[in-house]
A and B are shown apart, each in its own frame.
Chain A
Amino acid sequence: MSSAATAHATHEEKLSFWRKYIFSVDHKVIGKQYLFLGMFMALVGGLLAYLMRWELAWPESPVPGTGWIPEPTMFQGVVPPEFYNAIVTMHGTIMVFFVAMPILLGAFGNFLIPLMVGAPDMAFPRLNMMSFWTIFTASVVMIASFFVPGGAASAGWTGYPPLSANPVYTGVNWGITLWILGLALEFASFLMGGINFLTTTVSMRARGLKMMRLPLMVWMQITAAVIFMLSVGPLIAGAVLLLLDRTAGTSFYTVAQGGDPLLWQHLFWFFGHPEVYVILLPGLGAVLEVLPVFSRKPIFGYKAIVYSTIVAGVLSFIVWAHHMFVSGMNFKLVMPFSITTILISVPFTIILLAMMATLWKGAIRFTTPMLFAVGTLAMFIIGGLTGIFLGSATADIYLHDTYFVVAHFHYTLISAVFLGGFTAMYFWFPKMFGRMMNETWGKVHFWLTLVFFNLVFMPLFKAGLGGEMRRLYDPFQYDFLKPHQPLHKFATIAAILLFASQIPFLINFFWSLFKGKIADRNPWQANTLEWTAPSPPPHGNFEIAPSVYHGPYVYSAPNMNMKEDWQPQDQPLAS
């Protein structure tokens, strides 16, 4: 227990600007750094989505506002096929690894875990700082890859060889090498982060905070960290092999010389599928924190949720090959992977039912965080149900790599990451910045986002059922897909409006940052430990070391003998 304590003790004195805001070892500052990085990368990823959608709605017509893009990749604003591939690849990569992970794990994990477990800082503050600057470097490498000769990686975000292994197929050489390097740095960053999350939660809990008294957000964060740390290793091994194939000329993935491209698919999806849960669990965790607070009820089935999360984590390691039903792997594997994939819907169903049961007969207050939480819940159900179709091999063989898949994972990930992320942002904003966000603007933002998000992705289910393949630069070259063009025009207009709907959020965020109403310690009357610290918490978090007497969700308990209907974790229950 020395490292955190000493690091804490040595930073009592006044810090220079650089030490305080740039190379800070304070988990709260690092969390905010992750937040701003993620928000910036979301703009980049969103811009790529805009280019992609424009191309799909109006193939080969100039994209408005793209004149600044370098000449070789864009001809008079039209998206050429090679650049379309690069956009598809980089949109996926950036959104998963540089937006979802930094915001949900990097920002909220870093900010919340020490506060929620009652620790003064992360277990390894310097490692934490290193972790942020590693992902910062990774982001720079990723963005730089757009500007190298040949353009950015264009083998799909899954980077399947031989497309990714040999420049012959894509015409992209440096772009893909930089893509691998960027991802490697990103993995290293989150390995350091994961070590911090787990060590802090396991070894630095305040006195009385038993594991079964942890807030569910912490449970979700550490399960995500475990999943990430145990699944990323094989992909790192696979990436080493791919890098050697590209640079040293080995042939791990080249069939002609004794290699096998399927190996990459196995290694990639052994990581790639658990990764879905890595970014999904923290989003659900935020929802699980918000629901009891605004329905003034204890969470329904705390232990069931914890165990379900762990079961989902374990199952996530044995579902990966459902991404490969049509890849040509051994057919005997199809049935077991179908079954495990459909099984994993059981723990998630338990979690969702617990959320709904928490709302049941609650005294619900529809504040902005609550709206986003309920929205996440509703949208996640659509995403989850459509996942069952894809988990079943019989349906997947028809639906594989169609827009149905695109719609499905956007429903899953946008609900958990995007809506879940906003839930967290609106809920913890007062704690992070010491000011409240504007409720009216928040509600406007919520409704616009919810409506336009559905208008973008609902039509894509239909396109997929109609047999439209994803990743096609101009699908309407096929006669049978021509009737789908109006669907894409509709989705594109909705997508532009969805972007526009984020303007109220950005205005609200930056306005509230400087001008918002000053928040007191516990504006939502919540029980978890972070609300007992000042807003924003100073370096070292708590004035006195907290002790914990009960679980985090004590609301409206009938045997409580007091005026309020809530009892913070650091105060004993009245009898």
Chain B
Amino acid sequence: MSSIAVTENYYEKTMPIGKMGIWWFLASEIMVFGGLIGSYILYRLASAGAWAEMAHHVSTAIGAINTLVLLTSSLTMVLAHAAIEDENRRRAKLYLGLTVLGGLLFLGFKAIEYTTEISNGFTPLSGTFWAFYYTMTGLHGLHVLGGMIANFALFVMASRGTLWPNTHQRVEYCGLYWHFVDVVWIFLFPLLYLSY
């Protein structure tokens, strides 16, 4: 088996491989949510105001708190990245933990919200608005869960010193993904909670 020496100047100078990959991944993810959001807006326009009544029953308070929680967790993610740049393992561990906690809090509130809606009789079958509501928040929730798992893996790596050298770029990539999840929520929040 022959091998080639992968030296520093082997490649043309471009973006690092992992970062490039994550950006393409996010581009395709944007299109998935773009399809859903576009369909939601068109349906809502076509419903000639009938949806506003249904949209009245969502809990704006929980939605707003969740927005704050998610935005804060984006901040802690940035701080985790900054800590990595400073080679400060303890601080990185703290902020990664806080980010995971933020995601957990978000999903907790989401669970309370779903339970309230369903106990009030608003299920996905109660109308097209509710079907969109559960589909969009549900798909977003799955993305939050995915981000949390990734961040938790980084947290474990930060706790175990042996894996530490590998985490540097990964924190940045997970951060990009986590901000994407956040940005999607920034679109969902006004569409679902503020537009009655």
- Residues of A at the B interface (CB closer than 8 Å) are 1-5, 8-9, 12, 119-120, 123-124, 191, 194-196, 198-199, 202-210, 229-238, 240-241, 244, 248-252, 257-260, 263, 267, 270, 538-545
B124: which A residues are within 8 A, CB to CB? 244, 248-250
B29, A233: Cβ atoms under 8 Å?
A: yes
B32, A199: Cβ atoms under 8 Å?
A: no
Q: Please report the C-alpha to C-alpha distance between residue A475 and residue B38 in the assembled complex, in whole angstroms.
A: 39
User: Which A-chain residue is minimally distant from B6 (CB atoms)?
Assistant: A5
Give chain B nearest CB distance to A540 CB in angstroms. Answer: 5
Q: Please report the C-alpha to C-alpha distance between residue A199 and residue B1 in the assembled complex, in whole angstroms.
A: 25
Q: Taking A203-B15, A234-B38 as contacts, is the C-beta distance between A545 and B7 under 8 angstroms? A: yes
Q: Please report the C-alpha to C-alpha distance between residue A543 and residue B39 in the assembled complex, in whole angstroms.
A: 52
Q: Please report the C-alpha to C-alpha distance between residue A540 and residue B31 in the assembled complex, in whole angstroms.
A: 35
Task: Out of B10, B28, B38, B46, name the residue touching A191 (CB < 8 Å).
Answer: B28
Most buried by B among A1, A250, A270: A250
B125, A249: Cβ atoms under 8 Å?
A: yes
Q: Is B12 an interface residue (CB 8 A)?
A: yes
A260, B34: Cβ atoms under 8 Å?
A: no
25 contacts between A and B (CB under 8 A): A1-B17, A2-B17, A4-B6, A4-B17, A12-B3, A123-B17, A191-B25, A199-B17, A203-B17, A203-B20, A206-B11, A207-B12, A233-B35, A234-B38, A236-B35, A238-B39, A241-B39, A249-B124, A250-B124, A250-B125, A260-B46, A538-B2, A540-B2, A540-B3, A545-B10
Q: Is B36 an interface residue (CB 8 A)?
A: yes
A543, B31: Cβ atoms under 8 Å?
A: no
Q: Please report the C-alpha to C-alpha distance between residue A8 and residue B3 in the assembled complex, in whole angstroms.
A: 9
A260: which B residues are within 8 A, CB to CB? 43, 46
Task: Out of B3, B24, B39, name the residue touching A199 (CB < 8 Å).
Answer: B24
Q: Please report the C-alpha to C-alpha distance between residue A5 and residue B5 in the assembled complex, in whole angstroms.
A: 9
Q: Please report the C-alpha to C-alpha distance between residue A29 and residue B47 in the assembled complex, in whole angstroms.
A: 53
A234: which B residues are within 8 A, CB to CB? 31-32, 34-35, 38
B39, A229: Cβ atoms under 8 Å?
A: no
A3: which B residues are within 8 A, CB to CB? 17-18
Q: Please report the C-alpha to C-alpha distance between residue A123 and residue B19 in the assembled complex, in whole angstroms.
A: 11
Q: Please report the C-alpha to C-alpha distance between residue A39 and residue B87 in the assembled complex, in whole angstroms.
A: 52
B162: which A residues are within 8 A, CB to CB? none
Give chain B nearest CB distance to A247 CB in angstroms. Answer: 11
A2: which B residues are within 8 A, CB to CB? 17
- Known: A204-B17, A244-B131; 18 extra A-B contacts, CB below 8 A, are A1-B11, A4-B17, A5-B6, A12-B1, A119-B11, A202-B20, A205-B11, A205-B12, A208-B12, A233-B28, A233-B35, A241-B39, A241-B135, A250-B135, A251-B131, A263-B43, A540-B1, A540-B3
Give chain A nearest CB distance to B5 CB in angstroms. Answer: 7
Q: Taking A195-B25, A260-B43 as contacts, is the C-beta distance between A240 and B135 under 8 angstroms? A: yes
A210, B12: Cβ atoms under 8 Å?
A: yes
Q: Please report the C-alpha to C-alpha distance between residue A259 and residue B46 in the assembled complex, in whole angstroms.
A: 10
A207: which B residues are within 8 A, CB to CB? 9-12
Q: Please report the C-alpha to C-alpha distance between residue A267 and residue B36 in the assembled complex, in whole angstroms.
A: 10
User: What 3 A-B pairs have minimum CB-CB distances, sorted nearest first?
Assistant: A233-B31, A234-B35, A237-B35
Give chain A nearest CB distance to B86 CB in angstroms. Answer: 21
B27: which A residues are within 8 A, CB to CB? 229-230
A258, B128: Cβ atoms under 8 Å?
A: yes
Give chain B nearest CB distance to A292 CB in angstroms. Answer: 24
Q: Please report the C-alpha to C-alpha distance between residue A208 and residue B10 in the assembled complex, in whole angstroms.
A: 10
Give chain A nearest CB distance to B16 CB in angstroms. Answer: 7
Q: Please report the C-alpha to C-alpha distance between residue A543 and residue B82 in the assembled complex, in whole angstroms.
A: 40
Q: Please report the C-alpha to C-alpha distance between residue A205 and residue B14 in the assembled complex, in whole angstroms.
A: 9
Q: Taking A205-B12, A240-B139, A545-B6 as contacts, is the C-beta distance between A267 and B35 under 8 angstroms? A: yes
Q: Please report the C-alpha to C-alpha distance between residue A201 and residue B1 in the assembled complex, in whole angstroms.
A: 24
Q: Is B112 an interface residue (CB 8 A)?
A: no
B20, A123: Cβ atoms under 8 Å?
A: yes
Q: Please report the C-alpha to C-alpha distance between residue A538 and residue B24 in the assembled complex, in whole angstroms.
A: 29
Give chain B nearest CB distance to A29 CB in angstroms. Answer: 14
B9: which A residues are within 8 A, CB to CB? 207
Give chain B nearest CB distance to A386 CB in angstroms. Answer: 31
Q: Taking A120-B6, A199-B17, A230-B28 as contacts, is the C-beta distance between A252 and B131 under 8 angstroms? A: yes
B34, A233: Cβ atoms under 8 Å?
A: yes
- Name B35-58 residues within 8 Å CB distance of A: 35-36, 38-39, 42-43, 46-47, 50
Q: Please report the C-alpha to C-alpha distance between residue A199 and residue B24 in the assembled complex, in whole angstroms.
A: 8
A259: which B residues are within 8 A, CB to CB? 128
Q: Taking A203-B15, A229-B28, A232-B28 as contacts, is the C-beta distance between A123 and B1 under 8 angstroms? A: no
A8: which B residues are within 8 A, CB to CB? 3, 6
Task: Out of A194, A203, A235, A258, name the residue touching B35 (CB < 8 Å).
Answer: A235
Q: Please report the C-alpha to C-alpha distance between residue A539 and residue B33 in the assembled complex, in whole angstroms.
A: 39
A252: which B residues are within 8 A, CB to CB? 39, 128, 131
Q: Taking A231-B31, A258-B128, A539-B1 as contacts, is the C-beta distance between A206 and B12 under 8 angstroms? A: yes
A208: which B residues are within 8 A, CB to CB? 12
Q: Is B4 an interface residue (CB 8 A)?
A: yes
B6: which A residues are within 8 A, CB to CB? 1, 4-5, 8, 120, 545
Task: Out of A205, A235, A244, A542, name the residue touching B4 (CB < 8 Å).
Answer: A542
Q: Please report the C-alpha to C-alpha distance between residue A204 and residue B5 in the assembled complex, in whole angstroms.
A: 14
Q: Is B21 an interface residue (CB 8 A)?
A: yes
Give chain A nearest CB distance to B24 CB in angstroms. Answer: 5
User: Which A-chain residue is minimally distant from B19 (CB atoms)?
Assistant: A203
Give chain B nearest CB distance to A53 CB in angstroms. Answer: 36
Q: Please report the C-alpha to C-alpha distance between residue A231 and residue B32 in the assembled complex, in whole angstroms.
A: 9
B24, A229: Cβ atoms under 8 Å?
A: yes
A4: which B residues are within 8 A, CB to CB? 6, 17
Q: Is B127 an interface residue (CB 8 A)?
A: yes
Q: Is B101 an interface residue (CB 8 A)?
A: no
B15, A202: Cβ atoms under 8 Å?
A: yes
B139: which A residues are within 8 A, CB to CB? 240
Q: Is B30 an interface residue (CB 8 A)?
A: yes
B1, A538: Cβ atoms under 8 Å?
A: yes
Give chain B nearest CB distance to A218 CB in angstroms. Answer: 13
Give chain B nearest CB distance to A400 CB in angstroms. Answer: 24
B18: which A residues are within 8 A, CB to CB? 3
Q: Please report the C-alpha to C-alpha distance between residue A482 and residue B45 in the assembled complex, in whole angstroms.
A: 48
Q: Please report the C-alpha to C-alpha distance between residue A259 and residue B43 in the assembled complex, in whole angstroms.
A: 8
A539: which B residues are within 8 A, CB to CB? 1
A231: which B residues are within 8 A, CB to CB? 31
B42, A263: Cβ atoms under 8 Å?
A: yes
Give chain B nearest CB distance to A339 CB in angstroms. Answer: 22
Task: Out of B4, B16, B125, name the residue touching A120 (CB < 8 Å).
Answer: B4
Q: Please report the C-alpha to C-alpha distance between residue A152 and residue B81 in the assembled complex, in whole angstroms.
A: 50
A257: which B residues are within 8 A, CB to CB? 127-128
A202: which B residues are within 8 A, CB to CB? 14-15, 20
A123, B21: Cβ atoms under 8 Å?
A: yes
Give chain B nearest CB distance to A497 CB in angstroms. Answer: 42
